């Protein structure tokens, strides 16, 4: 019944639902998860972030101050996607506590709802300048294993040029790769500035021989996404009902451009590693200098 409900009608009932949420969490801490699971389903059906009534958010924020227990960790993960992470009461300690809860819950028997809640919250935190740098690498490494997003996934709020540029500025190629692998799963087109920034990142952040494995992971993800987008309107309607055909066409063009830039960089790497060049010859000469003690004033 919840899945078939009007999202706007569900959203308009958020105040009443939010009033019941503390009681649902109290029950969950005692081992009775059903009411909290129902909240998660209802909030998901609203198709809206920030579902929790703003007057209830400060109370929800106090959850992050409590010691870790399996039931509380699970409650934090299920509630987190519907909080407004751009509020002043969320800080480095909150992100650290959320990360601890996420890693603990993900080690338990995995469910799709838990996985989607972690991904949803992760991408919201990435959008907040003051919080982004506090996401631990372990969460990003976990996100590498995600190969799909739910059909009703909204996304789109972490794909701007500014956010991409700030993720690059963190200076961690593992985090950057994980971020790209994740947002490409949305199957959506990019603003021109965001697409340009990603192409620049591929050329500058993933260039060189040492980045070959990272480029291969990026290539596989792009190949997978393009394969999904090429399935046709019927397939998209079933697996991405919120993505219309014109958006899918625009997305396909964007992902093809990313693939073109990535393959272009791969060819450059192959030339560098497989073809004799000035750099290779110079390396050989320096090796000879070290091995045979050739004088540096020898003319070549």
- What is the C-alpha separation between 153 and 25, in angstroms, rounded? 25
Q: And the tokens for 32? A: 């009775």
Which sequence spans correspond to the domains of the chain? Answer: 1-106
Range ranked top by mean pLDDT from 2-16, 94-108, 156-170: 94-108
CA separation, residue 102 to residues 97, 142, 210, 298 (Å)? 9, 10, 31, 62
pLDDT tens for each residue of 180-222: 999 998 888 999 999 999 999 999 999 989 999 999 999 999 9
pTM comes to 0.78
Q: What is the pLDDT of residue 59?
A: 84
Exposure of 133 in the CB half-sphere (CA atoms within 13 A): 6
- What is the C-alpha separation between 147 and 149, in angstroms, rounded? 7
User: What is the band of 152 on the pLDDT scale with cuts at 50, 70, 90?
Assistant: low
Q: What is the pLDDT of residue 296?
A: 41
Mean pLDDT of 107-129: 87
> Contact 258/187 with Cβ under 8 angstroms?
no
Residue 178 has pLDDT above 70, yes or no: yes
Closest CA to 194 of 185, 205, 183: 183
- What is the C-alpha separation between 214 and 216, in angstroms, rounded? 5
pLDDT tens for each residue of 275-293: 554 444 344 434 433 443 4
Q: And the tokens for 148? A: 């799909």
Helix (H) or strand (E) holding 34: helix 34-45
Classify the phi-psi angles of 47: left when phi > 0, otherwise alpha if psi is within -120 to 50, otherwise beta.
Answer: left
User: What is the band of 2 on the pLDDT scale with cuts at 50, 70, 90?
Assistant: low
A 10 A CB-CB count for 226 gives 17
CA separation, residue 189 to residues 46, 183, 212, 236, 243 (Å)? 23, 11, 26, 14, 10
Q: What is the pLDDT of residue 179?
A: 93
Weakest-pLDDT range from 25-34, 44-53, 88-97: 44-53
> Contact 66/72 with Cβ under 8 angstroms?
yes
Closest CA to 153 of 198, 132, 126, 123: 123
User: What is the band of 118 on the pLDDT scale with cuts at 50, 70, 90?
Assistant: very high
């Amino acid at each position: 019944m919840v899945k078939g409900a009007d999202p706007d009608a569900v959203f308009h009932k958020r105040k009443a639902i939010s009033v019941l949420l503390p009681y649902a969490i109290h029950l969950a801490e005692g081992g009775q998860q059903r009411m909290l699971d129902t909240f998660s389903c209802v909030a998901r059906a609203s198709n809206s972030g920030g579902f929790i009534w703003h007057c209830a958010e400060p109370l929800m924020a106090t959850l992050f101050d409590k010691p870790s227990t399996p039931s509380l960790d699970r409650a934090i993960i299920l509630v987190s996607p519907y909080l407004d992470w751009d509020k002043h009461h969320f800080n480095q300690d909150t992100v650290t506590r959320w990360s601890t809860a996420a890693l603990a819950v993900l080690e338990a028997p995995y469910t799709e709802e838990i996985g989607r809640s972690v991904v949803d919250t992760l991408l919201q935190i990435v959008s907040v300048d003051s919080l982004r740098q506090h996401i631990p690498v372990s969460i990003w490494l976990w996100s590498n294993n995600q190969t799909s997003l739910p059909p009703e996934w909204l996304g789109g709020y972490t794909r701007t040029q500014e956010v991409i540029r700030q993720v690059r500025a963190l200076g961690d190629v593992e985090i950057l790769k994980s971020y790209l692998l994740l947002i490409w799963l949305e199957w959506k087109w990019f603003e021109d500035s965001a697409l340009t920034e990603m192409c620049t990142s591929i050329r500058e952040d993933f260039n060189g021989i040492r980045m070959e494995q990272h480029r291969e992971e990026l290539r596989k993800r792009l190949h997978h996404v393009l394969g999904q987008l090429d399935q046709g309107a019927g397939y998209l309607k079933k697996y991405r009902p919120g993505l219309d055909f014109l958006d899918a066409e625009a997305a396909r063009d964007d992902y093809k451009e990313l693939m073109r830039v990535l393959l272009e960089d791969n060819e450059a790497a192959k030339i560098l590693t497989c073809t004799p060049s000035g750099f290779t010859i110079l390396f050989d000469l320096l090796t000879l200098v070290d091995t045979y003690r050739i004088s540096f004033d020898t003319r070549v």
